[in-house]
Structure 1
Amino acid sequence: MKITVAGASGLIGTRLCENLRRSGHGVVAASLSLGVDTVTGKGLDAAVAGSDVVVDVTNAASFGDSAALDFFKASTKTLLAAAAEAGVRHYLALSVVGTPRLVESDYLHAKMVQENLIQASGRPYTILRSTQFYEFINGLIDIGAQGDVFRLPSASMRPVAAGDVAAFLAELTAGDPLGDIVEIGGPEQFGIDEVARIYLAANEDERQVITDPSVSYFGVELTQDALLPGPAARMANQKLDDWLYQSMGG
């Protein structure tokens, strides 16, 4: 099977390409750094030509303003048009758990627009929503940084290893389009404040975490379960402690 991965140079894209190649698929890696621009369409038709599947794991460079919306609208429309022109049989995209509940966030509003464009396109599709990656915990807890302390809400989350997300994407890529949204989350549930304490302790960072439910999450005030996947979500394998041990060269 020939598969085009848009966003192939990113955290998920690099892992996904490796997984697909190990499984014997022909992979076309497409990203800005490889000469393919999903916004302008430069190099895209050649990257998609003859592909059975397009996997969209592109990401906006900015999370906090209208730039994310501009990116996802333009990129998704361009990718969908290229997929239609090439007769691609399956369009698969990565999104974020909680997106419909958190559209006050500029970034998640942009992801909701992306999902809507895919669903309205008439292309056979699958959308995978993932919870927050372990790899982004550092950026997540930085939202609460105030001097020598972190003020963070206790809202629940099920963070997940990027490798587990890429593996599930590879599995979905090999299957038929679901015409639906599926989810993946990590095997353990924590409060955001609790994740921060675990992460800081593992990095021998003695800064204190103060639980503060009023702190916003990328511009949104969280309810307790806003970041949790539904009961039908795929449960990933790697636990946080194991990932921390592995990521620190253990």
Structure 2
Amino acid sequence: MQITVYGATGTFGTRLVEQLRSRDHPVISAHRGTGVDTYTGHGVAEAAEGSDVLVDCVNRMTMNARQAVDFFSHSSRSIALAAAERPETSVACLSIAFRPEVGESKLLGYYQGKAVQERIYRRLVPADRLLMFRSAQWFELVDAMTTSIGPLRFVPKMRVQALAAAEAARMMAEAIDAREHDTVEVAGPEISDFAAIARRLAEARARSTGRAEEHSESAGERGASAGTAKPRKVIGIPLPGPTAGDGLIPPAPRLSDVSLDNWLRTV
């Protein structure tokens, strides 16, 4: 089964391509570096040639609603139209697990864009050829959500059921491999918030820095400060609206068994 992955060089796309190839699927990596631009539509149809599944992993991180809606509407439509030209071709879209009130919130422009993306695919791609893969947030997004000012790090207190990006990619690859359609939601084994995850990540990095400093010193010169690096101070910023409640918690997801503790051992 040949598969075209649009956005193949991103955080998720890179991992998904590895997972699909490990299952012996030929994969076409489509991204701007290969001359494919899903926003303008340039090269999208050519990259789809001969593929059984088109996967949309393209992303643009912005909380500006106008920009998000504009980007995701253009990008998804170009992929959906490429699939429409090939009646036997299916589409798998990477989306986010969020409840309707999040997609309707004027404070969360990015999610408005993802809501539009989902509506376009559901309108243009037959239901029996569409997999809407809705992932909870990834642990790896914590850094992208962090604003650093001097020694302080500010992170939004969004309630999440986060999982590792590699786990989400594995679960999506399994769904594609099984030729699933309809909607699949995935999440991690624990409910937390981004600020709490950021604190745990800061502690893990401080321990790692301390161990590195300790190993870099000779036994005779090792001082009392070795292994005592302090974590950066993380301040959680409460957000108004549905993300403070269960707006980002999928009601009945498939669960990864990789916890935050498991993931922190790999960073």
Structure showing greater radius of gyration is: 2
Give the secondary-structure state (helix, strand or coil) at the position aligned to 1:203. Answer: helix
The aligned counterpart of 1:237 is 257
The aligned counterpart of 1:91 is 91
Asked if the contact 1:36–1:44 (Cα under 8 Å) also holds between the matched residues in 2, the reply is yes
1:222 correspondence with 2:222: no
List runs of 5+ in structure 1 lacking aligned partners.
none
Asked if the contact 1:9–1:31 (Cα under 8 Å) also holds between the matched residues in 2, the reply is yes
Select which of 191, 194, 205 maps to 2:193.
191
TM-score (norm 2): 0.81
Give 1:82-161 correspondences, 5 Å limit: 82-98=82-98, 100-103=100-103, 104=105, 105-123=108-126, 124-142=129-147, 148-150=151-153, 154-161=157-164
Mean Cα deviation higher: 187-196 or 18-27: 187-196
RMSD: 2.1
Distance (whole Å) between structure 1 residues aligned to residue 142 and residue 193 of structure 2: 12
Identity score, percent: 34
Asked if the contact 1:57–1:94 (Cα under 8 Å) also holds between the matched residues in 2, the reply is yes
Alpha-carbon offset, residue 100 of structure 1: 2.3
Q: Deviations over 1:155-182 (max 9, x none)?
A: 531111111111111111122342x222
Distance (whole Å) between structure 2 residues aligned to residue 63 and residue 24 of structure 1: 37
Distance (whole Å) between structure 2 residues aligned to residue 12 and residue 152 of structure 1: 22
Q: Deviation above 6 Å: which 4+ runs of structure 1? A: none
Asked if the contact 2:65–2:112 (Cα under 8 Å) also holds between the matched residues in 1, the reply is no
Distance (whole Å) between structure 2 residues aligned to residue 17 and residue 41 of structure 1: 21
Distance (whole Å) between structure 1 residues aligned to residue 36 and residue 55 of structure 2: 14
Alpha-carbon offset, residue 148 of structure 1: 4.3
Distance (whole Å) between structure 1 residues aligned to residue 155 and residue 45 of structure 2: 45
Give the secondary-structure state (helix, strand or coil) at the position aligned to 1:222. Answer: helix
List runs of 5+ in structure 2 lacking aligned partners.
207-229
The aligned counterpart of 1:206 is 231
TM-score (norm 1): 0.86
Counterpart residue identity of residue 188, structure 1:
E
For these two proteins, the number of residue pairs brought into alignment is 239
